[in-house]
């Protein structure tokens, strides 16, 4: 079980590195890989075919990473209940200090005018 998980994580890392390389090779202005190799590349592949390949490679590698991660989650399953986590004993809190009850004073009402 651990070897399968390790293999999946290695594949995820390889696919991630390849994805970074493919993304970095793209040119946001449309030149991309064809501009890197000069005119010989344009004659052989063409700019449009190179951009299509780079876009498909990006989507494919992204999909591969997602599938591998989902497979790794399925393979690991739920955590085992073999060793329960021990909790620290709860510390008793000191009783909260309460303020002394305040004496209530009757509200002062205005004196009624004398008649």
From the list 68, 57, 49, 63, the residue with the least C-alpha distance to 18 is 57
Question: Residue 90 falls within a domain, yes or no?
Answer: no
Domain extent, residue 53, equals: 39-74
Could you tell me the two tokens for 4? 């399968």
Supply the pTM of this predicted model.
0.52
Question: Residue 91 falls within a domain, yes or no?
Answer: no
Question: Residue 107 falls within a domain, yes or no?
Answer: no
At residue 35, the pLDDT reads: 53
Question: Residue 50 falls within a domain, yes or no?
Answer: yes
Predicted confidence pLDDT, tens digits, the chain (115 residues): 688 889 999 999 999 999 999 999 887 765 555 555 555 544 555 556 777 888 899 999 999 999 999 999 888 876 665 555 666 666 666 666 666 655 556 666 666 666 6
At residue 20, the pLDDT reads: 94
Q: How far apart are CA 68 and CA 13, in angstroms?
A: 10
Question: Residue 64 falls within a domain, yes or no?
Answer: yes
Could you tell me the two tokens for 97? 């200090």
At residue 51, the pLDDT reads: 78
Tally of domains within the chain: 1
Question: Residue 52 falls within a domain, yes or no?
Answer: yes
């Amino acid at each position: 079980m651990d070897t399968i998980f390790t293999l999946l994580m290695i594949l995820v890392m390889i696919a991630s590195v390849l994805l970074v390389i493919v993304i970095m090779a793209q040119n946001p202005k449309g030149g991309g890989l064809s501009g890197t190799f000069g005119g010989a590349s344009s004659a052989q592949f063409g700019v449009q075919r190179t951009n299509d390949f780079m876009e498909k490679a990006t989507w494919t590698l992204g999909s591969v990473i997602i599938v591998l991660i989902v497979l790794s989650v399925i393979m690991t399953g739920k955590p085992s209940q073999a060793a329960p986590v021990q909790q620290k004993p709860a510390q008793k809190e000191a009783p909260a200090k309460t303020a002394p009850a305040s004496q209530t004073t009757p509200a002062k009402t205005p004196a009624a005018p004398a008649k």
